[in-house]
Amino acid sequence: MLTRIKNNVLEGKRLTGAEALKLFESDDIFLLGSLASYVSEKKNGKKAYFIRNRHINPTNICVNRCRFCAFSRSEGQEGAFELTIKEILHKLKPFFAGRGRRISEVHIVGGLHPKWPFEYYLEMLSSIKRHFPDLHLKAFTAVEVDYMSKISGLGLSRTLTALKSGGLDSMPGGGAEIFDPRIRNLLCPEKISGNRWLKVMETAHKAGLRTNATMLYGHIEKYEHRTDHLLRLRKLQDKTGGFQAFIPLAYHPKNTQIQGKYTSGIDDLKTIAVSRLLLDNFDHIKAYWIMLGEKISQLALKFGADDIDGTIVEEKITHSAGALTGEQLSAAQLVELIRKAGKIPVERDSFYKRVRDMA
């Protein structure tokens, strides 16, 4: 079977779900790595991308309280926070004070706040755009956008158009978790369904917004659920072509209600490789260094990934759940990490256009 899969990959044939499952079940990670690397290099050559970005979480107050989420709080609970627009602007200001530390993208995601009106999100976007017109606003997961469509009463399409007019440039891929309804219901019973997540993304793509996609793995799911998740993403991508990157998110168990272990390095690399092989219609696979650690992210560049995300600066979601990494890396550190993997570091913008080669 593995030889047949290998031949299919080398002939550029699309893999089936059964073949992906076989790859997940295989211990031959060297074969997985070399096949995924072959596909990655066909798509992106020896390039590995990074971006100068900053994450901001406007609030951790969330009505969903997913069982795997250590970041969220209920209103009034110790540790709950909500940022004013002034505070958000204050977090961005230092990156525009001089030339050295400039960022090109801000990544904004947060909880589903029980009281904030839709107008607050619009004002957040337009204020940031007014103060920092060159900054790309990658904001709000499909879960948040669905919530906004409900609080605004506008429905999905008009909510997305309003967000776009307010300054939204693209959307991150969070909130996808695992689409399988039974597993999803155990992980996050209050969250929108997998089908709804896909519907929000389809509508966003139709509205002209590019987005990412993620998958939370390493908790209670089995390989078959990962395979199903990837196939559903591939199907939507066939239809819209609106996804830019796929990011497997390694489960972090601390302070959550889903007990478990950290993922193993082997599983992380396997998941990157199988994602690269199955998602033949995604241009980019991202190894998110915050969750994988610097060393596994570096190895992931040899297992099918072509992107390691960015400078990040402040990270609360994974760090609430026991992340072992720091919260920021400088562009120079990212360049070194990529170079030592034998790849060509390329600073990118939010649409994967080259800002500069660092070779």
Is residue 177 at the binding interface for ligand V47, with CB under 6 A as the rule? yes
Taking Cα atoms as reference points, which of 231, 289, 277 lies closest to residue 33? Answer: 277
Q: Which of residues 72-131 bind ligand V47 (CB under 6 A)?
A: none
217 binds ligand V47, rule: CB under 6 A: no
Q: How far is the CB of 68 from ligand V47 (least distance, A)?
A: 5
251 binds ligand V47 (CB under 6 A): yes
Long-range contacts of 156-162 (CB under 8 A, 24+ apart): 156/199, 156/200, 156/203, 157/203, 157/206, 157/207, 159/118, 160/203, 160/204, 160/207, 160/209, 161/207, 162/118, 162/122
From ligand V47, ligand SF4, none, which one binds at residue 72 (CB under 5 to 8 Å depending on kind)? ligand SF4
Q: Which of positions 130-159 make contact with ligand V47 (CB under 6 A)?
A: 141
Of 80-88, 128-136, 146-154, 168-176: span binding ligand V47 (CB under 6 A): 168-176
Of residues 15 and 188, the one with the C-beta less far from ligand SF4: 188
Cβ atoms 101, 51 nearer than 8 A: no
Which of ligand V47, ligand SF4, none has residue 212 at its interface (CB below 5 to 8 Å by kind)?
A: ligand V47
Q: Nearest CA to 168 among 244, 221, 108? A: 108
Which residues in the 253-282 window bind ligand V47 by CB under 6 A? 256
By the rule CB under 6 A, 317 interacts with ligand V47: yes
Which of 37, 318, 325, 350 is close enough to bind ligand V47 by CB under 6 A? 318
The strands making up 210-217's β-sheet, listed across from edge to edge, are: 53-56, 105-108, 136-139, 170-171, 210-217, 243-250, 284-285
Segment interacting with ligand V47, rule: CB under 6 A, options 22-30, 118-126, 212-220, 232-240 = 212-220
Judge contact between 346 and 357, C-beta under 8 A.
yes
Cα 304 from chain centroid (whole Å): 16
With CB cut-offs between 5 and 8 Å by kind, which of ligand V47, ligand SF4, none does residue 251 bind?
Answer: ligand V47
49 forms part of the interface with ligand V47 (CB under 6 A): no
With contacts defined by CB under 6 A, name the span among 8-16, 19-27, 222-230, 317-325 that binds ligand V47. 317-325
Distance CA 244, CA 47 (A): 16
